């Protein structure tokens, strides 16, 4: 893990050389920065090697996925985030796998598609380790690549043709929250929470949340979440329209899957056509919003605010 920290330090130091003199306090010298990053990222070391491992006995039928468990039965395709030791944080590879799984599910024989998480978390959002993989083109190229990937990722949700249902088994953070506005139903355990700490990280909303959240919950409540970073309980999220229904955690899986199996027996083409009618008017707008959000984020990732906020966040995480 020290190697990862070293790469972080070198990448940030390289970018600091190109930045104004006032910002050089972030990285006073390479050795100090290297040690700082060793300390900051060390909290990830205990789980880094097992990040793609799930619970014993996980379905291994679809070997092309290292970070997901994908199954299809009884008319339901289930896509389960499978990095429980990392709270289902979404790595770069996992972003690609989710897109592949959704595209495959859109063409298979299932009636509905369900997304859920393995373990205590639904997903803790973007994996911090994604920031360590800097290409030869530097941080500017990394920001460009990340914006393209994010746009493609969100577009996959926008274009998904079947009923798409989230089964939120635990806390959800960042991109795993914002994309919920693109699902057709969201069922949550009463242990789930919903957090979008963008301003804390010097970032801005993604996943079309800048458009869907104000429509779903009203501008004032959306501002509390997206700008001020208010964390919602499952029942608060339900009251504001982001969640369809909340279930006691003790009976969550049984109640939700009983309902989903009933839904899967409904006429497949009828549900597809109904979703198309409901979503058709919005689709062009959602694609435009997604493109704008990604363009803004590309700039935010390179900003002084984001770099400093990320450093502060990593510092706090390392002390937990």
Q: What is the DSSP string of 219-254?
A: HHHHHHHHTT-PPEEHHHHHHTTS-SEEE-TTTHHH
- The mean pLDDT of 11-28, rounded to a whole number, is 44
Between CA 94 and CA 139 the distance in angstroms is: 21
Q: Which residue reads 């429980």 in tokens?
A: 84
For residue 110, pLDDT over 60 is answered with yes
Tell me, what's the pLDDT at 30?
Answer: 39
* Residue 59 scores a pLDDT above 80: no
Structure tokens given for 12: 């940030």
pTM of the model: 0.82
Q: How far is CA 315 from CA 139, 304, 311, in A?
A: 21, 16, 6
d(CA 15, CA 224): 33
Cβ atoms of residues 16 and 302 within 8 Å: no
* Residue written as token pair 């599910």: 105
**Each residue of 241-259: pLDDT tens digit?**
999 999 999 999 999 999 9
Rounded distance, CA 124 to CA 57, Å? 23
| Contact indicator for 133, 92 with CB cutoff of 8 Å | yes
Tokens encoding 208: 């079309």
Q: How confident is the model at residue 68 (pLDDT cuts 50, 70, 90)?
A: very high
Half-sphere exposure in the Cβ direction for 210 (13 Å, CA): 18
Share of residues in the chain with pLDDT > 90 (%): 70
End-to-end CA distance of the chain: 18
């Amino acid at each position: 893990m020290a190697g990862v920290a070293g790469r972080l330090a070198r990448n940030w130091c390289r970018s600091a050389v190109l930045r104004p003199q006032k910002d050089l306090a972030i990285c006073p010298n390479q050795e100090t920065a290297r040690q700082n990053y060793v300390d900051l990222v060390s909290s990830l070391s205990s789980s880094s090697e097992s990040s793609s491992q799930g619970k014993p006995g996980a379905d291994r039928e679809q070997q092309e996925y290292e970070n997901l468990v994908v199954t299809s039965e009884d008319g339901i395709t289930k896509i389960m985030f499978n990095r429980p030791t990392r709270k289902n944080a979404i790595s770069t590879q996992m972003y690609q796998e989710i897109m592949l799984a959704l595209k495959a599910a859109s063409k298979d024989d299932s009636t509905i598609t369900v997304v859920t998480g393995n373990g205590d978390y639904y997903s803790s959002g973007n994996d911090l380790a994604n920031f360590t993989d800097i290409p030869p083109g530097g941080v500017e190229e990394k920001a460009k690549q990340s914006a393209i990937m994010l746009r493609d990722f969100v577009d996959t949700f926008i274009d998904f043709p079947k009923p798409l249902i989230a089964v939120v088994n635990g806390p959800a953070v960042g991109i795993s929250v914002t994309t919920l506005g693109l699902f057709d139903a969201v069922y949550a355990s009463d242990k789930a929470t919903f957090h979008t700490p963008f301003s804390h990280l010097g970032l801005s909303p993604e996943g079309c949340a800048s458009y869907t959240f104000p429509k779903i919950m009203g501008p004032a409540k959306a501002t509390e979440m997206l700008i001020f970073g208010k964390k919602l309980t499952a029942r608060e999220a339900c009251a504001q329209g982001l969640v369809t229904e909340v279930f006691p955690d003790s009976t969550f899986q049984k109640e939700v899957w009983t309902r989903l199996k009933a839904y899967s027996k409904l006429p497949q083409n009828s549900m597809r056509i109904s979703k198309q009618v409901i979503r058709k008017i919005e689709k062009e707008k959602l694609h435009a919003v997604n493109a704008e959000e990604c363009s803004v984020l590309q700039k935010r990732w390179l900003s002084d605010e984001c770099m400093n906020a990320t450093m502060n966040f990593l510092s706090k995480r390392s002390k937990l």
